[in-house]
């Protein structure tokens, strides 16, 4: 992730719901970018950035939301750990992409940005 401190400062200017919306958007990008082999580096960067977004936000979230965010952070770390098997395998990559979409929907719901 480029200039982590600058990104952190910018990210923390927003309220928690907006930050969670940004995390949800990153997860959607992972889903979208995973469709093309040539986007490997972009997806890796999005996973790293998403882990930082969680780190910078979870402490401000209610306990139940924070627990879900930590669960997501663990999932992102699992993807990184298995990366050398996931990315070259179209089926595993598609599964990761679908899980990312599901997490995106969940985080967007947690954000409270959607009308009830």
Encode pLDDT of 18-40 as tens digits.
999 999 999 999 999 999 999 99
Angle at 44 between CA 86 and CA 22, to 5 degrees: 120
Structure confidence at residue 45 (pLDDT): 95
Please state the pTM of the whole predicted model: 0.93
Angle at 12 between CA 8 and CA 17, to 5 degrees: 130
Q: Residue 1 — very low, low, confident or very high, per pLDDT cuts 50/70/90?
A: low
Among the CATH numbers 2.60.120, 1.20.120, 3.30.1370, 1.20.58, which is that of 4-111? 1.20.120
* pLDDT for residue 114 is more than 90: no
Host H or E run for residue 87: none
Structure confidence at residue 4 (pLDDT): 85
The residue whose two tokens read 């929907």 is: 105
Structure confidence at residue 29 (pLDDT): 98
Q: What are the extents of the domains in the chain?
A: 4-111
* pLDDT for residue 104 is more than 70: yes
Letter string b/e over residues 52-85, b meaning 16 or more CB atoms within 10 A of that residue's CB:
bbbeebbeebeeebbebbeebbebbeebeeeeee
Structure confidence at residue 30 (pLDDT): 98
């Amino acid at each position: 992730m480029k200039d982590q401190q600058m990104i952190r400062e910018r990210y923390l200017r927003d309220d928690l719901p907006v930050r969670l919306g940004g995390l949800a958007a990153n997860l959607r990008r992972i889903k979208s970018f995973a469709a093309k082999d040539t986007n490997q580096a972009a997806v890796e960067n999005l996973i790293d950035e998403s882990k930082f977004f969680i780190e910078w936000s979870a402490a401000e979230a209610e306990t139940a939301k924070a627990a879900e965010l930590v669960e997501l952070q663990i999932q992102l770390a699992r993807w990184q750990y298995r990366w050398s098997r996931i990315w070259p395998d179209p089926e595993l990559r598609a599964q990761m992409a679908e899980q990312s979409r599901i997490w995106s929907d969940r985080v967007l719901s947690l954000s409270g940005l959607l009308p009830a």
